[in-house]
Amino acid sequence: MGMLDLFLQTSSSVSLLVTLIVLLLVYLVLTFSFTSQKDRREPAGPRPLPLLGNLLQLDLKRPYETLLKVKTKYGSVFTIYLGPKKVVVLAGYKTVKEALVNYAEEFGDRDPTQIMHESNQGHGIIWANGDSWKEMRRFALTNLRDFGMGKKACENKITEECDHLTEVLRKCKGETVDIAQPIHCAVSNIICSIVYGSRYEYNDPEFTSLIKRVNRHLALMMSPSIQMYNMFPRFCKWIANRKEFRNLDADIRKHNLELFRRLEETLNPQMCRGFVDAFLVHKKNLEESGITNSHFHNENLLRSVTNIFSGGSETTVTTLKFGLLLMAKNPKIQNQVQEELSSVVGSRQVQMEDKKNLSFTNAVIHEIQRLANIAPMSLPHKTTKDITFQGHFIKKGTTVYPLMVSVLFDESEWERPHSFYPAHFLDKDRKFVKRDAFLPFSAGRRVCPGESLARMELFIFFTNLLQHFRFSPPPGVSEDERNQVQLHLIVDPLPHKL
């Protein structure tokens, strides 16, 4: 018994010693971790709830408005939790520009949402990263320019499309109409001519069906239920919208593959009709050279085309809808635009070279883009490495949202940030002036690749429409131009008639 007592006492002492050592190690690890995190000063933010994060504190219809309020308390770099997902928000012109331009590499990756990761699988332009993204973006920029983006050839396509749009609206004979559909057709035709090499009639069933599918696809992507799925994929994978999204994605895929097949059958390498032809020729040349592991494959072609089509049409269409709604709500400004067009251009069609002589009109278009604020949260970025930014430590792989509304509405940059005020872009002599904080196309590595095309489309479509028509609200109706639907990524005017 004596030996057993001694053994038990020894064993107990060893256990106690081991326990004390373990507790000491845990204490040291926790202390070091806490000190390390304190030294690294990760961005602060409102306290999150388990699993839900800060969702209960957000206005889910207009989350950017809540984030603007968070900025006033926590500064221009802060952390929020979208469900369990940690997100760093960048707010204010100086902070956003510094991050996207001065630290372009560190903040340059895209963080695809769950639904877009499933859909794109890392292919295409918008939601891709790495070498594949670099190859596709470079090829897209080069070939979109070759097919007229930002050049006279593209201007001619847009002015011709203006004629078709004008003719459609003339048939309305001044009646109250929803102009969203004809504008969608006009803008989408510009993309079709650049990508596929041909335009469509507005009543072509294949064309209208494609536009409807793309619009519905985008609306579903931004719907609250899909946003919940993005945050909680394990719990929300059975939602109906996800199934409809995947079915629409399959339909768009099938439609484009059929178009590619037809284009490939009539392909002439010496005379490419559009982006798809150029891609197919480049792909064939690589294969004939024995290169089989390139990024030029059908999946990248499919996703690049759908990215160009959706990204190149929806934003321009939405901005034009906002612009005409703002003209209807501000008849005095509409008068000034039309008077300037009449005195400078007269009855001939507006051309891009007229822009330098249309200071007020140019200022109005820029102010429409600023106030429309159609992408208030931009698309999510992701850090490529650990970085200390403005004194805050941000870990590699962190999701980052550049809060673009805080740039376009920055009170330190704009005299009347929340008002429609074209004088923001005019100097004391009423000449057009650029503003540094005007970043509707974002900045840095992820700046919109179609910026020059969008600028040309907005100018030519807007001026030509105001040359031929006067826009006003229907009798007895007075809609607030800020009566918007927030769809997380894009702000769109509520359906309306003019």
In the annotated binding site, the residues are 448
Specify the amino acid at residue 479: E
Question: What are the strands, taking DSSP E only, across 49-120?
Answer: 77-82, 85-91, 109-110
Residue 37 bridge partners (DSSP): none
One-letter identity of residue 93: Y
Both tokens of 192, joined, read 């079709």
Cα 443 from chain centroid (whole Å): 12
Question: DSSP of 130-174, one letter per residue?
Answer: HHHHHHHHHHHHHHHHHTTTTSHHHHHHHHHHHHHHHHHHHTTTT
User: Pairing between strand 85-91 and 399-403?
Assistant: parallel
Summarize the annotated binding site for heme as residue ranges: 448
DSSP type of residue 198: -
Amino acid residing at 90: L
Q: Cβ(433)–Cβ(426) under 8 Å?
A: yes
- Give me the half-sphere count of Cα atoms (radius 13 Å) on the Cβ side of residue 234: 3
Q: Which helix (H) or strand (E) element contains residue 389?
A: strand 387-389
Looking up tokens 């294949």 gives 206
Q: How far apart are CA 414 and CA 288, in angstroms?
A: 56
